[in-house]
Amino acid sequence: MKGLYFQQSSPGEEISFVFQERENLPDIKDNYVKLQVKACALSWINTKLLSEMKLEKEFFPVGREIAGVVLEVGSKVSFFHPDDEVVGILPLDSEESGVCEIVRIHEHYLVHKPEKVTWTEAAGVIHDGIRSYTALHSLSHLSPGKSVLIMDGASAFGTIAIQLAHHRGAKVISTAYSLEDKQYLERLRPAIVRVIDVSNGKIDVAESCLEETGGIGVDIILDAGVRLYSKDDEPALKLHLLPHKHDIITLLGVGGHWITTEENLQLDPPDSHCLFLKGATVSFLNDEVWNLSNVQQGKYLCILKDVMEKLSSGVFRPLLDEPVPPYDAKVSMEIVQKNQARKKQVIQF
């Protein structure tokens, strides 16, 4: 059997994707489950995080969000039986490539897949569902009536975050990066309070949000990256689409929560002072934290189950591309790694 792996000769270099013949699976013992993969979603790989966690090796497995059928269970498995339909995320340090017909996975990373949910939907929503719950529940305690700004709402992740915020009774504002994105966001139901088209660089996000909230500012901001420096030091595309950190701080309301995906965020003393005066918080969105400590395992599984229930009941309607056959997985993963895919890429077996 072949699996998809990536290779990086040195840090900072572009990574290449290769199909590798893999060794036979070890015996299925204890709490492990043997799974026949039916669908695997592809997500951007944070190579910097992998190297910081000392997980570097010559070939690293690709494809972690999987849905499939249980073939065999270990002697200590208590939650699953052969022929159960399941979905889950392979841990960061897993040796298994999800882009492979058969994988071995610990039962604590899996939940049951609802019957009426398709394989591609299950695999395609699980990661963005976890990210949305982490951002809007764990980090910002979303509640009815709150105002939420979700940047780049027309992305696969932004779509799920908007749907979760609406389900919780929040008022949602979102930014659009193109005319197509704007039209997509305006068609969403329940309706978004305001769609801010930043594609031409002429509209001020802070001004629009303050106008929409009557000058009070928004309660929760979920960014998709921010500008940290002056205009001369930023790439043209970033300058065009992303707000400056000062704009974010300006439009944040009193007691607000800023959830950032910018891992190298730098706040100067005046920025910190402004956040102090507002009693606001800044949190970093790293959804890998759930599996870095066994203490969080119960909460993590509850979130996975909740994501599947919301998918089954129609609360979540993921933004999926057409399913990709396994032999095209390498090309799809290259597109994902370059951040060129707007819709979720899912490999279907």
Nearest to 290 by CA among 95, 96, 135: 135
Domain edge (last residue) among 284, 311, 327:
284
Same domain for 321 and 271? no
Q: Alpha helices of the chain — where are they, by DSSP H?
A: 47-52, 119-133, 156-167, 179-187, 205-212, 236-241, 245-251, 269-278, 297-312, 329-337
Same domain for 113 and 9? yes
Same domain for 278 and 300? no
Residue 78 lies in a domain: yes
The predicted model scores a pTM of 0.93
For β-strands 2-7 and 32-42, DSSP reports them as unpaired
The token pair at 165 is: 């915020």
Same domain for 186 and 114? no
| Domains contained in the chain, number | 2
Residue 47 lies in a domain: yes
Residue 186 lies in a domain: yes
For β-strands 102-106 and 147-150, DSSP reports them as unpaired
pLDDT at position 165 is 97
Residue 70: pLDDT above 90? Answer: yes
Q: State the CATH number of the domain containing residue 72.
A: 3.90.180.10
For β-strands 2-7 and 16-21, DSSP reports them as antiparallel
211 vs 230, residue with greater confidence: 211
CA separation, residue 14 to residues 9, 166, 201 (Å): 9, 38, 30
Q: 129, exposed or middle or buried, with CB in 10 Å at 0-12, 13-18, 19+?
A: buried
Same domain for 111 and 23? yes
Same domain for 278 and 148? yes
Nearest to 143 by CA among 240, 228, 252, 219: 219
**How far is the first Cα of the chain from the last one, in angstroms, to the nearest whole number?**
13
Same domain for 150 and 276? yes
Residue 10: pLDDT above 70? Answer: no
Same domain for 81 and 12? yes
Domain span at 167: 144-284
pLDDT at position 238 is 56
Residue 233 lies in a domain: yes
Choose from 4-8, 38-42, 200-204, 225-229 the range with maximum mean pLDDT: 38-42
